[in-house]
Amino acid sequence: MSVVLTKGYPHSVLDLISPGGAPAIEAADVVKSFGALTALTGVSLSVAPGTLAALLGPNGAGKTTLVRIIATLSRPDSGRVRVLGVDVLAQPARARGLIGLTGQYAGLDEGLTGRDNLVLIGRLAGLRRLAAVDRAAELGAAFGVAHALDRLVRTYSGGMRRRLDVAASLMTRPAVLVLDEPTTGLDPASRRQLWEVIAGLRADGTTMLLTTQYLHEADRFADIVHVLDHGRIIATGTVSELKSRVGRPVVEIRLQHPSAAPAAAAAVRGRLALPPADVRADPASGWLTVAAADDTGTLLAAAAALRADGIAVTGLALREPSLDEAFLALTDGRQGVGERPALAYEAPARGRARRLCRPLGARGGGDRVRP
Ligand SMILES: Nc1ncnc2c1ncn2[C@@H]1O[C@H](COP(=O)(O)OP(=O)(O)OP(=O)(O)O)[C@@H](O)[C@H]1O
Ligand SMILES: [Mg+2]
C-alpha cells in the first residue's frame, strides 16, 4: 500500500526544500476574523517533517479555518505560514505544489465517474493525461474503489466518496498532506482502511496535519497533538504528555443495575467527600467513574461506599486517564463526550453535505490567496 501511494516520490527533495530539519509546516501568530468574530487569535504551531500532527478542538474552535489558511484557500488577517520553507502568502502557487488537502466537506463532481474525477483533478494539478490515468487507477486500487471507478460518483456510498476524496488529494504525491476530519462519517471498517492508508503515508515520510473528532485516533496515530480552543492553541504535546497533564488516574466501576447510577454517584461523593465533578455516572451504560486522587485508596473507598449502600458492581478498575479526559480537562469540559470517559468521543451527527477542496490550485474558496 505505501509503495503504491508514494512510488517515485522524491523524498530526498524534502531535505533540499526543508534543510536542517526545519518544520514542514510552520504557522506563526495567525489571526483571522470573520466580521466581529475572531476565529483565530494568534495561532502558532509547527509540524516536523515526516510526522503526523493532530489538531483537536471543540466544534467552532477554528480548526478548519487554520487548515484552510495553511492550504492557501484562505488568507489570514495577519501572521505567517510556511510549508517546507515556502511562505504560503508570498508564494501560494509554489506552496500549492507541495500540499495536498482533503477538506472537511467533500465536493467531488457527482456527475462524473470516480475515475474522471481523479483524472480531472490530476490534470488541473498539472499531470499529463497518461500519468493522471495511471495514477487514478493506482489510487483507486489502493483505496478499495477500483471496482467502482467507472460509476458516477452520485451512486457512491458516503464512505466510498470519502475514500475517493482522500485519493484525489494524493494525485500529485504531495510532500505535505492536510486532512480535515478525514474519517468523520465513515463506518468502522472504512475508517480502519483509511487509517491504514494514512499509516502507510506516514511510514513513507509524508508530513501530515489532521483534524479529527475521534480522539482515540489521535491517541493511536499522532506523533504530536495540538489542542485548539476559542481560536488559540491551549496545549501541545505528545498524547502521553497531555494525559499526564490531567494527572490523576481514574477508577471505573461497572454497576450491575445501570439505573442505580445516580444513587451510586451520591454514595461515592458522600463517603469520599468528593466534589460533584470528580464523580461521573452514566445511567444509560451503568458506568461510574471517579477521579482517583488516592489511587487504590480511592478504589477501595468507592467499593466500600457502594457495598455499604447495597449497590452491586460487576467490574472495578484503576486506569490511566484517557485522551478524552485530558481534552475535557483542557477545554473545561465543554466537549460532549458523555459521562463515561473510556468511550471515544463521537462527533455529533451533523448530516452535512461535503464539499471538495483539493488539489490546491484546482479549486478554492472565497478569500483564497491569489498566486
Ligand atoms: N466563512 C465564514 N464566515 C463566518 N464565520 C466563519 C466562517 N468560517 C468559519 N467561521 C466561524 O469561525 C469559527 C471557527 O470555525 P471553524 O470552521 O474553523 O471551526 P472548526 O474547529 O473547524 O469546527 P468543527 O469542529 O465544527 O468543524 C466558528 O465560529 C465559525 O462559525
Ligand atoms: Mg471544521
Given a cut of 80, is residue 154 above it in pLDDT? yes
Does the CB atom of residue 183 touch ligand 1 within 6 A?
no
Residue 315 Cα to ligand 1 middle (Å): 42
DSSP character string of 131-154: HHHHHHHHHHHHTT-GGGTTSBGG
Residue 232 Cα to ligand 1 middle (Å): 13
Which residue's CA is the closest to the ligand 1 atom numbered 2?
34
Q: In what order do the strands lie in the sheet with 250-255?
A: 279-282, 287-291, 250-255, 313-319
Per-residue confidence (pLDDT) for residue 46, from 0 to 100: 94
Residue 233 Cα to ligand 2 middle (Å): 15
Domains with residue ranges and CATH for the chain: 2-243 (3.40.50.300), 248-320 (3.30.70)
Q: What is the mean pLDDT of residues 105-132?
A: 90
Q: Which residue, among 81, 104, 66, 89, has the nearest Cα to 23 in the 3D structure?
A: 81
Q: Write down the pTM of the prediction.
A: 0.73
Tell me the per-residue pLDDT of 255-270, one tens digit each, with 9 for 90 and over.
Answer: 999 999 999 999 999 9
Residue 65 Cα to ligand 1 middle (Å): 6
Tell me the per-residue pLDDT of 210-223, one tens digit each, with 9 for 90 and over.
Answer: 998 777 788 888 99
- CA pair distance 286, 25, nearest whole angstrom: 44
Which alpha helices (DSSP H) does 57-147 contain, by range?
63-70, 92-96, 114-124, 129-142
CA distances to 112, 163, 176, 341 from 135, in Å: 17, 15, 18, 43
Does the CB atom of residue 212 touch ligand 1 within 6 A?
no
Given a cut of 60, is residue 329 above it in pLDDT? yes
15 or 201, greater pLDDT: 201
Does the CB atom of residue 43 touch ligand 1 within 6 A?
no
Find the range with the poorest average confidence among 117-131, 190-204, 341-355. 341-355
Q: Which residue, among 148, 159, 94, has the nearest Cα to 360 in the 3D structure?
A: 94
Whose cell is 510526522? That residue is 51
Say if CB 359 and CB 96 are below 8 A apart. yes
SS3 content of the chain, % helix, strand, coil (to 5): 40, 25, 40
Tell me the per-residue pLDDT of 172-193, one tens digit each, with 9 for 90 and over.
Answer: 888 999 999 888 877 888 788 7
Does the CB atom of residue 36 touch ligand 1 within 6 A?
no
Does the CB atom of residue 190 touch ligand 1 within 6 A?
no
Which bound ligand lies closest to the C-alpha atom of 62?
A: 1
Does the CB atom of residue 65 touch ligand 1 within 6 A?
yes
Which residue's CA is the closest to the ligand 1 atom numbered 1?
34
Does the CB atom of residue 63 touch ligand 1 within 6 A?
yes
Residue 161 Cα to ligand 1 middle (Å): 23
Atom of ligand 1 nearest to the CA of 365: 1
Which residue's CA is the closest to the ligand 1 atom numbered 8?
65
**10 Å Cβ neighbour count for 348?**
9
CA distances to 69, 163, 193 from 187, in Å: 29, 12, 10
Residue 239 Cα to ligand 2 middle (Å): 21
Say if CB 35 and CB 79 are below 8 A apart. no
Tell me the per-residue pLDDT of 60-117, one tens digit each, with 9 for 90 and over.
Answer: 999 999 999 999 999 999 999 999 999 999 999 999 889 988 877 666 899 999 999 9
Given a cut of 80, is residue 371 above it in pLDDT? no
Does the CB atom of residue 231 touch ligand 1 within 6 A?
no
Instruction: For residue 113, give every residue at least 6 positions away whose Cβ sits within 8 Å of its Cβ, in sequence order, or none.
Output: 149, 150, 151, 152, 153
